[in-house]
């Protein structure tokens, strides 16, 4: 059971980070944060073909970051209901890990500087 939960969580993170790894898709999310838009409007805004934009929107849809709705011949994109809370928590945990490692590294560098200064004084006498 735990293995399935970890796999599900991991798959969601993978899909989210894969979707967010592309500048165009991040731009689409920013645009949709301001207002809903059709795929045609998004394609024009990002100077892309409709097919290219549809692929980007498809990746965002798979990650549940965007949802689309077709009315007549127009497919409108909206932000998905899923927020990035889990992704933010994952980043926060890893940020803490890296910050503590950099703090340790800063301490080592300061120690070496102090030792170097002390050794330099001893040899000049």
At residue 26, the pLDDT reads: 96
pLDDT, one tens digit per residue, over 59-89 is: 999 999 999 999 999 999 999 887 788 888 8
Kindly give the parts of the chain with pLDDT less than 70: 1-9, 121-125
Say what the pTM is: 0.69
Whole-angstrom Cα distance, residue 59 to residue 22? 10
At residue 93, the pLDDT reads: 87
At residue 57, the pLDDT reads: 97
Q: How many residues does the chain have?
A: 125
2-79 in CATH: which number? Answer: 1.10.10.10
Would you kindly state where each structural domain of the chain is located, as residue ranges? Answer: 2-79, 84-125
64: region left, alpha or beta (phi > 0 left; psi from -120 to 50 alpha) = left
User: Six-digit token pair at 62?
Assistant: 């798979």
3-state helix, strand, coil in the chain (%, to 5): 75, 10, 15
Query: What is the rounded average pLDDT for all residues in the chain?
Result: 87
62 Cβ contact list (under 8 Å, min separation 6): 15, 19
Instruction: Give yes or no for a contact between 18 and 59, defined as CB atoms under 8 angstroms apart.
Output: yes
Q: Which residues pair with 76 in a beta bridge?
A: 38, 69
At 101 the three-state DSSP class reads helix
């Amino acid at each position: 059971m735990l293995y399935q939960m970890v796999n599900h969580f991991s798959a969601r993170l993978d899909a989210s980070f894969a979707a967010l790894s592309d500048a165009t898709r991040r731009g689409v999310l920013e645009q949709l944060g301001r207002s809903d838009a059709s795929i045609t409007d998004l394609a024009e805004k990002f100077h892309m073909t409709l097919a290219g934009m549809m692929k980007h929107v498809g990746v965002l849809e798979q990650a549940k970051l965007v949802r689309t709705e077709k009315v007549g011949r127009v497919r409108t994109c909206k932000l998905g209901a899923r927020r990035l809370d889990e992704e933010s928590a994952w980043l926060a945990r890893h940020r803490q890990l890296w910050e503590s490692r950099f703090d340790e590294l800063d301490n080592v560098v300061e120690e070496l500087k102090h030792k170097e200064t002390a050794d330099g004084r001893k040899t000049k006498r």
